[in-house]
Amino acid sequence: MVDDSDPSDSDRARVDSELLATLLATTPDFVYFKDTERRFVRVSKTMETLFGLPEAEIIGKRDEDLFPEHIHIHSVPDDIRVLTTGEPIVNKLEGGEVRAGTQTWVLTNKTLWRSASGEVQGLHGTSREFTDLKRLRDSERRAKQILSQIHDSVISVDLEGFITSWNHGSEVLFGHSAEAMLGRHISVVYPEEDHGLLETDIIAPLLRQGEHHAEVRLLRASGDVFYGHLALSVLTEDGKPSGMIGYTMDITERVEGEKRRKLLMRELDHRVKNSLAVVRSLARQTANRAPTLDAFLQQFSGRLDAMVVAHETLAGNRWTGLPLRQAVSEALTSSDGVTADGPDVILPPECATPLCLALHELTTNARKHGALQQADGSVDLRWSWQADEVEIRWREHGCKEPPSNLKPGFGLSLVHGLIEHEAGGRFSLEMTPEGLSATIHLPTREDRSASLGPGAR
Amino acid sequence: MSGEPQQPRTALLVEDNFLAALEVADTLTDLGFSVLGPFATSDDALRAMESAPRIEIAILDVHLRGGTCAPLIPLLRARETPFVLITGYSQPDLNDVLAGMPLPPRLGKPFSTRELRAVLAELAPPTGSRG
């Protein structure tokens, strides 16, 4: 300080000095003056507390003498910059662990300190404690980061339902980008027929209760509908609702699975009951005509086996249809003397039992009374497309003494009924000099008359 | 059945499963019914009903080849013909088929001949027993 020996000046200098002392003693900020060599000249009381040292022990020291390296590695170049360029440092966030276990973050301003005559004396700095604010800012950033990086969809809307945030999980789930969705109404992800429901079943109960869970149908950008579970909360600001936030989980697989399971259970129940009714009838019908118990057991189990083949072949094709070639080879596994050939044909499921029983009865009949009873007898089994039908021809060859009159037994009349009644087909028998000849026509669901594929005739 | 020879009573049988139909047809014949059917589709059954003067009772399988027995029900109700449904499905599924129509008596598959006889005796009692 320069004393011009003017009494008013010296008074002012005294006041200034008092003001400075007051400022340094009472400011909550870190205030300091450094000389051109970056040595502390004066520091505020807060600096004494920060370092745990009296001012006298701070003065004359530089940042590198007082701060840990991870702090002074940044602050020293800043001091040098201010001193050499004269450019101030404005609101720079700096700090960290100043002393073991204590985090101190500050917003720092540094400016050049000039004398009244304009000569550079050093620099002046003020750092305002920012630790709590920094923590808040960090937690906000972390929350944002978590929100953007979790795989689940989190969406927030304002009280009117307009989208205020749309995280990455939502982009993946719905196929809409955040950019496209911010500011749009949340109803765009609901099928149009559910828009009323959105108001009454979702938004209204949510605002009433503060929290709400719901299972809803939702729309993807592609237009596909999926099932979502929503966990929703009202956002509050100063105790007043300010918006809504929701977590959406895709539960389509679960919902579809439940539907499928219910349908399957119902279908299974129905099939089992039907099968039991059929078996009961088969047993009675067979018993009514069987001369002995042994004959009954043999006929009944043979017919039951044929029904098992029908069931297994159908089940192997997920009940969608009966591949004729596969059914024939399964039904005739133990029948030497039968040659079978024909194109690949899938028959409707209701043809399965009639066809497998037909093959069983024809084979049994041929073994007992027909071609397969004789050493050089044989059967030719061929099938072909006839417009929207499949014609299956069973021709017995090499019968030395074919019965002159045709009197089909119960087995073959059963086949007749099954083919005509149950499968909606036609069944005819004919006696030729070579042996029995049977023709089965079965309806299919495709019409091959227009396009004659390979194997068609 | 003793006494004067009677005109046999007619029972309509609609069941697409041939073996199940045989069983019911046998029971109906045993009870003295003349069996109209069995028919595997409701179309076939409708055609037969049009030319049948009188049907005492109808036995209908719910699920038929290519559909259900639902198209037959209004005509049966109009003619006041008693009928019984036979099905492997449970009641909620029948409501779909009947679309709000009152639920008629039904026999759940598989049923015994005795159960069938009991239902027939109730819905179409032998004329002799009517006093």
Digit-coded pLDDT (tens) for A148-196: 778 889 999 999 999 999 999 999 999 999 999 999 999 999 999 999 9
Question: What number of other Cβ atoms are within 10 A of residue B76's Cβ?
Answer: 20
Average of per-residue pLDDT values in chain B: 82
Average pLDDT on A380-393 reads 91
Which of A82-86, A299-303, A372-376 is the least confident region?
A372-376
Q: What count of residues does chain B have?
A: 131
Residue range A126-149, pLDDT digits in tens = 999 888 888 888 888 888 888 777
User: Ranked by mean pLDDT, which of A5-19, A155-169, B67-81 comes out on top?
Assistant: A155-169
Question: What number of other Cβ atoms are within 10 A of residue A449's Cβ?
Answer: 12
Q: Which residue has the higher pLDDT, B106 or A347?
A: A347
Q: Which residues of B touch A (CB under 8 A)?
A: 16-23, 26, 38, 40, 63, 65, 88-90, 93, 108-111
Provide Rg for chain A, Cα atoms. 47
Average of per-residue pLDDT values in chain A: 88
The phi, psi pair for A66, rounded to 5°, reads -115, -35
Determine contact: A262 vs chain B, CB below 8 A: no
Q: Report pLDDT for A180.
A: 94
* Chain B residue numbers touching A348 (CB-CB < 8 A): none
Q: Report pLDDT for A136.
A: 84
Question: What number of other Cβ atoms are within 10 A of residue B114's Cβ?
Answer: 8
Closest chain A residue to B110, measured at CA: A277
Determine which of B14, B19, B42, B44 to mutate to test the interface with A (most A C-beta atoms within 10 Å). B19
Question: What number of other Cβ atoms are within 10 A of residue A340's Cβ?
Answer: 19
Q: Report pLDDT for A36.
A: 94
Please indicate whether, in this complex, the C-beta atoms of B19 and A278 are within 8 angstroms of each other.
yes
Q: Which of B26, B65, B89 sits opposite A270 (nearest CB)?
A: B89
Q: Can the peptide bond before residue A54 be classed as cis, meaning omega within 30 degrees of 0?
A: no
Q: Which of B19, B38, B88 sits opposite A273 (nearest CB)?
A: B88
Q: Which of A266, A277, A418 sits opposite B110 (nearest CB)?
A: A277
Angle between helices B18-30 and B113-123 in degrees, nearest 10 = 60
Determine which of A271, A421, A422 to mutate to test the interface with B (most B C-beta atoms within 10 Å). A421
Express as a percent the part of chain A with pLDDT over 70.
95
Which of A66-80, A289-303, B91-105 is the least confident region?
B91-105
Please indicate whether, in this complex, the C-beta atoms of B40 and A270 are within 8 angstroms of each other.
no
Q: Report pLDDT for A448.
A: 53
Q: Report pLDDT for A113.
A: 93
CB A126 within 8 A of CB A108: yes
Angle between helices A252-289 and A410-417 in degrees, nearest 10 = 150
CB B71 within 8 A of CB B42: yes
Closest chain A residue to B14, measured at CA: A421
ipTM tops the 0.85 cut: no
* Distance (Å) of CA B109 to CA A70, A226, A421, A430: 85, 38, 19, 37
State the pLDDT confidence band at A392, using cuts at 50, 70 and 90.
very high
B78 to chain A, minimum CA–CA distance in Å? 28
Determine contact: A266 vs chain B, CB below 8 A: yes
Q: What single DSSP character describes residue A378?
A: E
Please indicate whether, in this complex, the C-beta atoms of A277 and B16 are within 8 angstroms of each other.
no
Whether B24 shows a pLDDT value over 70: the answer reads yes
Determine contact: A277 vs chain B, CB below 8 A: yes
Q: Which helix (H) or strand (E) holds A445?
A: none
Cα gap A343→A454, rounded to integer Å: 8
Residue range A92-119, pLDDT digits in tens = 988 888 777 778 888 999 999 998 898 9
Contacts A–B by Cβ distance under 8 A: 66
State the pLDDT confidence band at A453, using cuts at 50, 70 and 90.
very low
Sheet strand arrangement including A40-43: A40-43, A30-35, A120-129, A102-114, A89-99
A305 to chain B, minimum CA–CA distance in Å? 16
HSE value, Cβ hemisphere, 13 Å, CA-based, for A318: 0
Whether A245 shows a pLDDT value over 90: the answer reads yes
The phi, psi pair for A212, rounded to 5°, reads -160, 145
Average pLDDT on B41-61 reads 90
